[in-house]
Amino acid sequence: MRSKLGGRVAQAAEIALATRKYVTPIDVLTGLRWLHDRHVETWRQGRADSLERLAAVDAARMAEALSHLRAWAVSRDLVESEAAYTAGTRDRRPLRFTAAGDEDLERAFRVHWLSPDLSEARRRQIAERQSKAPDLVAVAPLDAWTCAGCGDTGPYLIMEGDRPHCLTCADMDHLCFLPAGNAALSRRAKKESGLSAVVVRFNRRRKRYERLGVLVEEEALTRAEEQCLADEEARLRRRERDRERRAGEDAEFQARMAAEIRRLFPRCPAERAEAIAAHAAVRGSGRVGRTAAARVLDENAITLAVIASVRHLDTDYDELLMAGTPRMTARERIRPRVEEVLTAWRG
């Protein structure tokens, strides 16, 4: 009989496999909510000595989850593949998952599980992408700071170990800043540049780093601009085709979500189910309908989308918030009404 943790691991792994055709231990740990994406990003940037330091559980508990993951993957006949993890720092040092650095457990973290349906070429492509070192990161700090090398400061800092360095001390002061906004230009400038770094700034409200642009060599930027001018018309046509394709995909996904809502809540009016799906599944909205779980029509994710709709449209939740009621207090007050509507829709 599968344990409670084993069931949770299997659910997180199933979602990752359905979404990308492969599963990593980090997919499972984030699916279990033991790690957040921002923790993984901080670790990949080399700003933490181990992933364990950022996790909500210790190495022993993570090892237990990885044991369940292996058992699940073997039962599904998934293909084992090992990837390298290197830090987004100048020295490209190997990343460590646990504080103690036990080699057997470290290797278990590096193992990825791939669908047997993938071609050999696709498996190699995934392995290469997973093993690729992340971009160097330059931080646009929010607060005053001092370079550990020269004692000066500047608009950006590069972390080397646990100490900040200015671009001059990091030998990157010859790079120029390209603001975000033109994906093709940024991609080509990075490709042409022998040395580059992604510039980020921490958003305190969202509690995550957000991309501002890239630092690239000036000659590389010039070449990238020439390339973009040469095929601008072709890229415009491709963007229009991509827009139409995405619109079709979104419409099909919303229809499937609405059908799943009606299956879980048979007495939910059809037009309401369609409205819930259309709202929750808006591309780029960050709503529950765009999560990996919702994209594979996970029952819990679909139910959360329905609850969110009921909360805002069938209760006085918004009025309570506008009156200054704390969010969790307001949710507790409206809980009976939410359950009443859900019970009626379930029939």
pLDDT digits (tens, 9 = 90+) for 247-268: 888 899 899 999 999 999 999 9
pLDDT digits (tens, 9 = 90+) for 159-185: 877 789 999 999 999 999 999 999 999
How far apart, in whole angstroms, are the C-alpha atoms of residue 300 and residue 318? Answer: 23
User: Could you count the other beta carbons within 10 Å of the beta carbon of residue 14?
Assistant: 17
- What DSSP state is assigned to residue 178? E
Length, in residues, of the chain = 347
Q: Which residues contact 86 (CB under 8 A, 6 or more apart)?
A: 92, 93, 94, 95, 131, 133, 134
Distance CA 33, CA 20 (A): 19
Q: CA dist 114 to 137, 292, 343, Å? A: 29, 17, 40
C-alpha span between 294 and 261 (Å, rounded): 11
pLDDT bucket at 209, cuts 50 / 70 / 90? confident
Query: Is residue 95's pLDDT more than 90?
Result: yes
Sheet of 157-160: strands edge to edge?
163-166, 157-160, 137-139, 197-203, 208-216, 176-179
If one counts every other C-beta atom within 10 angstroms of the C-beta of residue 132, the result is 11
Provide the whole-model pTM. 0.68
